[in-house]
Structure 1
Amino acid sequence: MRAMRPLRLLVAEGNPPEMRERHAARSGQTPSVFYAAVLTELAGALNLETKIDLCFPADLGANLPSGEDLAGYDGVAITGSGLNLWKAEKESLNQVEFARAVFEAGLPFFGSCWGLQVAAAAAGGDVKLNPQGREIGIARSIRLTAEGLAHPMHEGRREVFDAPAIHSDEVAVLPAGATLTATNDLCAVQAAEIRSGAGVFWGVQFHPEYTFTELGGILTRYTPIMLSEGFFRDEGEAVSYIKDLVELDADPERKDLAWRLGVAASVLDPLTRRTELVNWLKLQVLPTTSARGRA
């Protein structure tokens, strides 16, 4: 059934101005603009229309929605970010306060990577630099926990799956009452449900929203870091890897590229890759919206 009016969603950009401008210079758009486009596409696949606003809680002095203004949205999502919560910078702490306001408003709440970390911190958890190092490119062998296998956020997922990812931090301590739904050997908290106040948050440490082209743009920016950390032996190897990623995005039928990159079929399929986002829209946002009398 098509909603009487578009779902009203809010996407919170995780990056301060200089970081998102640097991202846009390489990828062609900021993370929040990209995220909003993905949500619009997924909602369309569910026969839903959306009206999506952006906000910038990392911007010092930003006028952020709260109270009744925030309650007017049907759901809130937080993007990834180049910030680190353990540095306790004002740009990060402001986002934790914003997440607390979203929890208080009781809105359907979702976050990828940084979004999971911010929500965890807002609810009383702790985020640290991962002592095992950076997870970048494709997160391998993510495993649903017993709770995750039964959780609607992962409806349609296999028990073990891969996903696009890039992060050096992790949720070291989940808030009290949180439910761990996915994990892997490199990062203990790959997905979780967090409840705080009136709100329920679904979040993942990986990036279900990413295309391989978007991932390739990020890896291009990160190439010097990846070289220093031993992910590539030289710049030519990095260029070749990124080129293969982008070409696979253009032609997912390229078995040779998928094999060479070790990309599973479930990662190639956009709807499967974005399972958690689809389920959030379908099972969190839409029912909550209907209960508010808009269906």
Structure 2
Amino acid sequence: MRFLVVEGNTRDARLAHRDSFGLTPSESYAAVLQSLEPQAVCDIAFPADEGANLPDGAGLESYDAVVLTGSHLNAYNVEPAVARQIAFARAAYASGTPFFGSCWGVQIGALAAGGDVRANPSGREIGFARRLAATDAGRSHPLLAGRPAAWDAPAVHLDAVTTLPDDVTVLASNALTPVQAAEIRHAGGTFWGVQYHPEFSLAELAAILRRYGRSMLAEGFFRTEAEHARYVDELEQLDRAPGRADLAWRHGLDAEVLDPERRLTEIRNFLDHRVKPERSRRGRA
């Protein structure tokens, strides 16, 4: 099985992530995919980079899935690094290759199909997306198979899909962000995506939140640097010892986040219900 992991960040941002966590976002996402499919081969593409070597349509068709990471960029600032990624997403749709994305991924998937993305009027959603719930359509959709009536997930985003593409089914939402999961159909291709980050371990989330300290203080998430540091430290402790009932209670987290099997539900469902059936249809199984 061959996956193409598409890095949403520019070089400086992905190296900053590697400095704080040990892997770039695309390397980390590839490791998650390989944890679910140990024999998989993961290539990484960098469409944000000028002059990046990217597969053409035939090259995209040779993959069993295309997966988009998050990004530090804002999709509504149509700078070259963003425009290249929108063009790449359109090519992924046209290839018909199963297509998935987290956070920035669902935003680019929507933009490439004619939707719009803006700063979320409700503000930043950071740490965890709380009380996610499937829509009527989402309750029977395979992307969310196995999720309970309400769940939480790691999340880091200021922006959100604000105008839907023409052919879209919203699958989940919460009080802060109306489009938390969606299926988008465009140009013969189908995209499944989520606004949250099922791929993030608590350690990776903690590394990101440590970098966001100044912003989180300015926006009122914490009153002091010491409060912020304690929060991040406790997430790191929970990552090392997910059985710490005291910390799980303090942060309001259950198995949907603490158990990797549960946290990765949407990615596993994408592989089981979208990638593998399409692979069989193409005669690759």
Measured after TM superposition, the shift of residue 265 of structure 1 is: 2.3
Cα distance in 1 for partners of 2:156, 2:197 equals 8
1:177 and 2:171 matched: no
- C-alpha separation between the residues in 1 aligned to 2:190 and 2:77? 26
Per the alignment, residue 25 of structure 2 pairs with: 31
Q: Does 1:226 align with 2:221?
A: no
Q: Equivalent residue for 1:279?
A: 269
How far residue 264 of structure 1 moved from its aligned partner, in angstroms, is 1.9
Does residue 11 (structure 1) correspond to residue 1 (structure 2)? The answer is no
Residue 176 of structure 2 corresponds to: 186
**Alpha-carbon distance between aligned partners in 1 of 2:239 and 2:87, rounded to the nearest angstrom:** 37
Deviation per CA, 1:205-242: give whole Å up to 9, x if none.
Answer: 00000000000000000001000001011111111111
Which TM-score applies when normalising by structure 2? Answer: 0.99
For residues 30 and 90 of structure 2, the distance between their equivalents in structure 1, rounded to whole angstroms, comes to 22
2:110 aligned with 1:116? no
Identical aligned residues as a percent: 52
Q: What does residue range 83-232 of structure 1 map to in structure 2 within 5 Å?
A: 83-232=73-222
Does residue 267 of the first structure (1) align with residue 261 of the second (2)? no
- Measure, in 1, the Cα distance between the counterparts of 2:186 and 2:256: 32
Query: 1:80 deviation in Å?
Result: 0.2
Contact 2:255 2:262 in 1 (8 A): no
Aligned-pair distance for 1:294? 1.7
After TM superposition, the runs of 4+ consecutive aligned structure 1 residues lying more than 4 A away are: none
**How far off its partner does 1:69 sit?**
1.3
Unaligned runs of 5+ in 1: 1-6
Residue of structure 1 in register with 2:15 after alignment: 21
Cα distance between partner residues in 1 of 2:255 and 2:33: 22
Aligned AA for 1:151?
H
CA distance in 2, matches of 1:198, 1:66: 16
Q: How many Å separate the matches in 2 of 1:54 and 1:153? A: 24
Superposed CA RMSD: 0.7
Quick check: 1:293 aligned with 2:279? no
Q: Which amino acid aligns with 1:284?
A: R
Q: Tell me by how many angstroms 1:88 deviates.
A: 1.1
Q: Distance in 2 between matches of 1:266 and 1:109?
A: 24
> How far did 1:122 drift?
0.2
- SS of alignment partner, residue 87 of structure 2: helix
Letter paired with 1:14: G
Q: 1 CA distance for matches of 2:23 and 2:220? A: 29
Cα distance in 2 for partners of 1:125, 1:243 equals 38
TM-score by length of 1: 0.95
